[in-house]
């Protein structure tokens, strides 16, 4: 892994700003691949509805999103499977008229490259930095 040009505090502030954009949006449906992603999002205080792909069918997630007038954010991994899942979900969601949050996923990807983190480590690092800087993180989950 390459060395980051950012200090620990700068990393925290950048992550906090990005994550802050989704943390308090209670009309947001977030789609993740696994339970650990769900746990991490809850630990940092994300209030939106989070769906784990291996627990719900894509059609169920889309129905819930539309019935509740939510926006959808697809946060699958950046490995081959995650990219393919994102494309599939995006195509189906758009065909039903779901409002997608565009840009966040790409910004997270860009940030992960700039910080020298893998995508899967971003939330772990944010949780650790939050505890270091005494920011409220729910560690009971």
Determine the Cα–Cα distance for residues 82 and 75; give it in Å rounded to an integer: 9
| Residue 21, both tokens | 């954009």
pLDDT tens track for 6-40: 776 777 787 788 888 888 888 999 999 999 889 98
- Give the architecture (CATH level 2) of 22-132: 3-Layer(aba) Sandwich (3.40)
Domain extent listing, the chain: 22-132
Query: Which pTM value belongs to this model?
Result: 0.82
Ramachandran angles phi, psi of 70, nearest 5°: -90, 160
Measured from the Cβ of residue 49, the count of other Cβ atoms closer than 10 Å reads: 17
| C-beta of residue 82 within 8 angstroms of C-beta of residue 76 | yes
Q: What pLDDT is recorded for position 139?
A: 53
């Amino acid at each position: 892994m390459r060395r980051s040009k950012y200090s620990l505090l700068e990393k925290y502030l950048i992550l906090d700003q990005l994550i802050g954009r989704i943390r308090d949006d209670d009309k947001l449906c977030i789609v993740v691949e696994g339970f650990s992603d769900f746990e991490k999002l809850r630990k940092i205080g994300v209030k939106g509805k989070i769906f784990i792909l291996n627990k719900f069918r894509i059609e169920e997630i889309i129905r819930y999103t539309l019935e509740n007038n939510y926006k959808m954010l697809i946060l699958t991994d950046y490995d081959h499977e995650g990219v393919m899942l994102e494309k599939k979900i995006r195509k189906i969601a758009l065909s039903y008229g779901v409002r997608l949050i565009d840009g966040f996923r790409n910004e997270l990807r860009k940030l992960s490259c700039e910080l020298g983190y893998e995508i899967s480590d971003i939330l772990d690092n944010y949780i650790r930095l939050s505890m270091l800087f005494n920011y409220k993180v729910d560690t009971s989950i």
